[in-house]
């Protein structure tokens, strides 16, 4: 299984000289299964460039899995060229919006309303279909299977586990490790902590032993504690702890904070490796970088 | 009587929450630093808000692998922001009017529901239920009479007839209801809860809160909700419109090892137990 990052930035695209090394596009990952079947995880602005490389394979079958429908994970979709070409088959999987009870199709068709985009969803030439995923659904095509796990973000967010011919990868989408909403002195603290612990264990089991864990690591831990609790994102120390605990082989840190320059990002990364005492027996930790392809 | 039909369901979808819950949700959410635990405590004290959250988080559309049986459990699974938005959506509908055609006192009813919730939770503790599960008992106590909220809104004339007949004939309210419209609030609440795919244990606790004694093998939750309801009646805390409730069956007294009076003395200081319910319901 091969995978390539087409966007690693969180929240908003950040082109410019300070982000040129790691990249400024928002989340998009291309995965190729054992028989070259194409899976795309998230449709941030990075999917535009990816789409432009696919023409030689038309007509093509594409399975897109959206972690969630925040802008930075769907914004590239209307500009993804394969959707305009007849013969292409594109299936978009994701979680429905639980608050409004809207399906993925309904949520996405809004971003193509005429005030936002000149082409109507119904005018797209490719054969488009939508799947509202339920927790623990298993989608299979070719030698590849995709399972999911509900993670913690302000909207429903599915993490995905992609397996193909014995290799495996997990992508979290956006995820903040659930924390106890009670104070230690509250009577509810203990019971809530048990729920949180069980929830964490379920997620660790989902990550277990994968060849590649791609995990939301938006914040430095100090910045998180100071002002980002409840925003729905991970931190260096929490990602590192989870990767160690679930014995993954390699861990790719992504969803880089948009105000972060490449130099600042690396500084935080080096400091985190140091602080967490990374040794030979630990997973390898890598900063996700736009345009770079890896083998799982 | 085919009572749960599509338009009833649609009407329930659009049902506003209690004024106490709505004003607290709006107040909390207008602050930039809306405290998660404060919001949870409001949602888990308003029967309509609680029901709506449970309904959405247990929705077959997301098919969570585990049934969600308490609000805090829901927060840990779908996240605080989702719960907040569900609460705001319900709050935006408006408030349950205090006056209704059935002449049913909603403030007294809210106190009854909250009182039963508190007693059920305390009884669960007395019976050795783990802290983690005690929220399920609180919620089952809160929601046991949810069927009455439906009746007040959708069938006020028949419900008020049942209330009057029960008084006049010295009948248990559920018996008067079956006499008049062939179904009672326990069954209505349970059918709705089942339609919304709420956890099985909760549906049963609602369905059997007047009849757990008829079951060959009632669960602890079913028995505690049945007894808890009667404890709150005996103590005269709030009112659910039921002035002649049936006695607690012998089999349940035996299983729990306590009759109503013994439960009341085991519970201890009811003033402090109900203080929270009073504070919530009287604002
Ligand atoms: Zn994001
Ligand atoms: Zn997001």
Read off the pLDDT of residues B173-224 as tens digits, 9 standing for 90 and up: 999 999 999 999 999 999 999 989 999 999 999 999 999 999 999 999 999 9
The predicted model gives A120-149 an average pLDDT of 94
Q: Which ligand is nearest to the CA of A154?
A: 2
- The SS3 call for residue B271 is helix
**Is the domain of B27 the same as that of B117?**
no
What is the domain count for chain B?
A: 2
Q: How far is the CA of B160 from the centre of ligand 2 (A)?
A: 49
| Domain coverage including residue B133 | 5-16+99-281
**Is the domain of B117 the same as that of B79?**
no
pLDDT digits (tens, 9 = 90+) for A28-45: 999 999 999 999 999 999
Rounded to a whole number of angstroms, the distance from the CA of B185 to the nearest CA of chain A is 28
**Is the domain of B168 the same as that of B119?**
yes
- Residue position matching structure tokens 């088959």: A89
**Is the domain of B197 the same as that of B86?**
no
pLDDT beyond 60 at B2: no
Instruction: Say which DSSP state B217 is in.
Output: S
pLDDT of residue B4: 57
| Domain coverage including residue A178 | 2-295
Question: Is B63 within 8 Å of A194 when comparing Cβ atoms?
Answer: no
What is the domain count for chain A?
A: 1
Q: How far apart are CA B17 and CA A15, in angstroms?
A: 47
Which of B70, B94, B118 is the C-terminal boundary of a domain? B94
Using a cut of 0.90, tell me whether the model's pTM lies above it: yes
**Is the domain of B43 the same as that of B120?**
no
B55 confidence band (pLDDT: 50, 70, 90): very high
**Number of CB pairs, chain A paired with chain B, less than 8 A apart:** 87
pLDDT of residue A8: 98
Which of B94, B126, B145 is the C-terminal boundary of a domain? B94
Cβ burial, residue A104 (10 Å; 0-12/13-18/19+)? buried
Instruction: Say which DSSP state B80 is in.
Output: H
**Is the domain of B87 the same as that of B108?**
no
Which of B56, B78, B94 is the C-terminal boundary of a domain? B94
**Is the domain of B264 the same as that of B176?**
yes
Chain B window 35-94: which residues touch A at a Cβ cutoff of 8 Å?
36-37, 40, 56-57, 59-65, 72-73, 75-82, 85-86, 89
pLDDT of residue A49: 98
User: Does residue A195 sit at the B interface (CB-CB below 8 Å)?
Assistant: yes
Chain A neighbors of B73, CB-CB under 8 A: 195
The predicted model gives A180-194 an average pLDDT of 95
**Is the domain of B133 the same as that of B268?**
yes
B3 confidence band (pLDDT: 50, 70, 90): low
- Please give the distance of CA B6 from its chain centroid, rounded to a whole number: 23
**Is the domain of B260 the same as that of B145?**
yes
Antiparallel, parallel or unpaired: β A167-171 and A157-164: antiparallel
Q: Chain A: residue nearest B59 by CA?
A: A98
Q: Which ligand is nearest to the CA of A28?
A: 1
**Is the domain of B57 the same as that of B173?**
no
Q: What is the CATH number of the domain that holds A290?
A: 3.60.15.10
Antiparallel, parallel or unpaired: β A89-94 and A127-132: parallel
């Amino acid at each position: 299984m091969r995978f390539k990052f087409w966007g690693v930035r969180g929240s908003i695209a950040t082109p410019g000289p300070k982000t040129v090394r790691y990249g400024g596009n928002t989340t998009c990952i291309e995965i190729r299964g054992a028989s070259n079947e194409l899976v795309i995880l998230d449709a941030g602005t990075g999917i535009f460039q990816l789409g432009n490389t696919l023409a030689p394979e038309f007509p093509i079958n594409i399975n897109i899995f959206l972690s969630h429908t925040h802008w930075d994970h769907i914004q590239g979709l209307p500009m993804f060229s394969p959707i305009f070409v007849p013969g292409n088959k594109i299936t978009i999987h994701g979680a429905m919006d639980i608050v409004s009870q809207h399906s993925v199709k309904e949520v996405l068709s809004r971003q193509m309303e005429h005030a936002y985009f000149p082409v109507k969803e119904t005018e797209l030439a490719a054969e488009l279909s939508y799947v509202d995923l339920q927790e623990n659904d298993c989608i299979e095509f070719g030698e590849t299977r995709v399972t999911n796990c509900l993670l913690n973000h302000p909207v429903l967010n599915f993490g995905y586990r992609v397996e193909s011919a014995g290799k495996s990868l997990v992508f979290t989408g956006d995820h903040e490790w659930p924390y106890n909403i009670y104070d230690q002195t509250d009577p509810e603290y203990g019971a809530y902590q048990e729920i949180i612990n069980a929830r964490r264990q379920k997620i660790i089991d989902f990550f277990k032993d994968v060849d590649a864990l791609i995990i939301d690591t938006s914040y430095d831990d100090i910045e998180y504690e100071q002002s980002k609790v409840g925003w729905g994102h991970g931190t260096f120390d929490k990602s590192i702890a989870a990767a160690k605990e679930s014995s993954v082989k390699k861990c790719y840190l992504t969803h880089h904070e948009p105000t972060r320059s490449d130099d600042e990002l690396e500084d935080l990364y080096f400091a985190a490796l140091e602080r967490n005492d990374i040794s030979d027996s630990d997973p390898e930790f890598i900063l996700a970088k736009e345009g770079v392809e890896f083998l799982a | 009587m085919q009572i749960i039909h599509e338009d009833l369901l649609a009407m329930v979808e659009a049902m506003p929450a209690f004024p106490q819950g709505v004003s607290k949700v709006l107040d909390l959410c207008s602050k930039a630093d809306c405290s998660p635990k404060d919001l949870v405590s409001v949602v888990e004290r308003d029967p309509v808000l609680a029901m709506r959250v449970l309904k959405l988080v247990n929705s077959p559309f997301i098919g969570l692998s585990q049934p969600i049986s308490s609000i805090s459990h829901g927060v840990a699974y779908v996240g605080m922001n989702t719960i907040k938005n569900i609460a705001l959506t319900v709050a935006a509908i408006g408030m349950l009017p205090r006056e209704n055609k059935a002449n049913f006192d909603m403030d007294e009813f809210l106190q009854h529901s909250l009182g039963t919730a508190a007693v059920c939770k305390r009884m669960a503790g007395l019976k050795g239920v783990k802290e983690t599960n005690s929220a399920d008992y609180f919620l089952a106590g809160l929601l046991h009479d949810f069927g009455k909220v439906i009746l007040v809104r959708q069938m006020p004339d028949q419900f008020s007839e049942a209330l009057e007949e029960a008084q006049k004939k010295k009948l248990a309210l559920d018996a008067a209801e079956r006499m008049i419209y062939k179904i009672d609030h326990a069954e209505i609440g349970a059918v709705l809860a089942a339609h919304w795919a709420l956890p099985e244990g909760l549906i049963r606790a609602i369905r059997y809160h007047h009849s757990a004694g008829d079951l060959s093998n009632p669960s602890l939750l079913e028995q505690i909700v049945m007894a808890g309801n009667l404890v709150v009646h005996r103590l005269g805390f709030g009112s659910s419109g039921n002035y002649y409730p049936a006695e607690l069956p012998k089999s349940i007294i035996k299983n729990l090892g306590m009759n109503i009076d013994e439960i009341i003395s085991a519970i201890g200081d009811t003033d402090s137990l109900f203080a929270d319910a009073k504070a919530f319901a009287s604002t």
